[in-house]
């Protein structure tokens, strides 16, 4: 394992975020704070509890997951697309760097940023609502698995995209709407039976459900199903990206 190469890629990607702290850190935290003000205060005054949990506290896992998914996909897709756009990707492909080393550098940096933002938002939420984390180990596990899996997914999108428009279309038109409709701000048990069945086809439901369970022991679907989904998604993304890099699909041509 060429750890020097991994370290170089990782440090370069992390330094890009630290150069733009307001955009990388400040914007997600400010956006989440606004969600607390709007949903926690305005809607929370009318919808006091869900499953015995205060509404403001109930939406915390959903807000954290919304930020993690958005940041993971955005950071990793931009990280690999920028060298493609600038033409420096050929230097990386011709260097003695293997596929695992490339993934560790780019995906590791994107996942690190997402975890960092998730923890900052978690700390910020304590200023608005009282929190309890019943299963902290599972909370960290879901945080890491989700960050790494969707960083892999974003890396895959960055290789697939051949324009700036394509780079943004999936996060904007698919990931964000699925997160809003995946139970971030409500329990899917509150929906009519037909819509609840439809919602179960939304993959983000299983992520938010498992993550919320780690906080309050309350879940819309079983923990085993949530873990099976995120584990399967991680392996699928890893297999697809490994093929992309080995074959040079949309990288060498």
10-residue mean pLDDT series, the chain (253 residues):
86 80 72 74 68 85 90 90 85 82 91 91 85 91 93 92 86 87 87 89 91 92 91 92 84 67
Residue 151 within any structural domain of the chain: yes
Closest CA to 183 of 72, 59, 39: 59
Q: Give me the DSSP letters along the chain.
A: --HHHHHHHHHHHHHHHHHTHIIIIIHHHHHHHHHIIIIIIIITTTS-EETTEEHHHHTHHHHHHHHHHHHHHHHHHHHHHHHHHHTTHHHHHHSS--HHHHHHHHHHHHHHHHHHHHHHHHHHHTTTS----S-HHHHHHHHHHHHHHHHHHHHHHHHH--SHHHHHHHIIIIIHHHHHTTTSSS-GGGS-HHHHHHHTT-THHHHHHHHHHHHHS--SS-HHHHHHHHHHHHHHHHHHHHHHHHHTTTTT-
pLDDT at position 94 is 81
Q: Total structural domains in the chain? A: 1
Residues 169-197: tens digit of each pLDDT: 888 888 888 888 888 888 888 889 898 98
d(CA 204, CA 201): 9
pLDDT at position 151 is 94
Mean pLDDT of the chain: 86
Residue 253 within any structural domain of the chain: no
Residue 252 within any structural domain of the chain: no
Residue 242 within any structural domain of the chain: yes
Residues 34-67: tens digit of each pLDDT: 777 777 666 666 666 787 888 888 888 988 998 8
Range of the domain at 228: 3-247
For residue 54, what are the β-bridge partners?
49
Residue 36 within any structural domain of the chain: yes
d(CA 194, CA 188): 11
Q: State how far the alpha carbon of 117 is from the alpha carbons of 31, 154, 167, in Å.
A: 12, 17, 22
Residue 22 within any structural domain of the chain: yes
d(CA 9, CA 103): 10
d(CA 228, CA 206): 9
Residue 209 within any structural domain of the chain: yes
**Token couple for 22:** 């307001």
Please state the pTM of the whole predicted model.
Answer: 0.89
pLDDT at position 45 is 61
d(CA 155, CA 77): 5
């Amino acid at each position: 394992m060429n750890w020097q190469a991994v370290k170089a890629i990782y440090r370069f990607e992390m330094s890009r975020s630290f150069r733009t702290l307001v955009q990388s850190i400040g914007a997600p935290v400010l956006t989440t704070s606004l969600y607390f003000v709007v949903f926690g205060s305005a809607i929370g005054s009318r919808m006091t509890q869900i499953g015995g949990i205060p509404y403001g506290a109930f939406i915390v896992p959903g807000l954290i997951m919304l930020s993690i998914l958005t940041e993971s996909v955005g950071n990793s897709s931009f990280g690999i697309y920028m060298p493609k756009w600038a033409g420096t990707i050929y230097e990386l492909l011709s260097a003695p760097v293997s596929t695992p080393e490339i993934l560790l550098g780019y995906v590791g940096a994107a996942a690190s940023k997402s975890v960092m933002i998730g923890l900052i938002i978690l700390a910020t939420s304590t200023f608005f609502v009282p929190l309890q984390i019943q299963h902290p180990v599972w909370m960290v596990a879901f945080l890491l698995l989700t960050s790494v899996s969707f960083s892999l997914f974003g890396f895959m999108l960055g290789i697939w995209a051949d324009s700036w428009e394509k780079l943004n279309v999936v996060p904007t038109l698919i990931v964000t709407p699925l997160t809003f409709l995946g139970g971030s701000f409500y329990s899917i048990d509150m929906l009519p039976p037909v819509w609840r069945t439809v919602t179960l086809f939304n993959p983000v439901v299983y992520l938010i459900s498992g993550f919320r369970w780690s906080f309050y022991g309350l879940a819309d679907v079983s923990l085993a199903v949530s873990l099976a989904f995120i584990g399967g998604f991680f392996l699928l993304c890893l297999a697809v990206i490994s093929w992309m890099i080995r074959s040079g699909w949309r990288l060498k041509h």
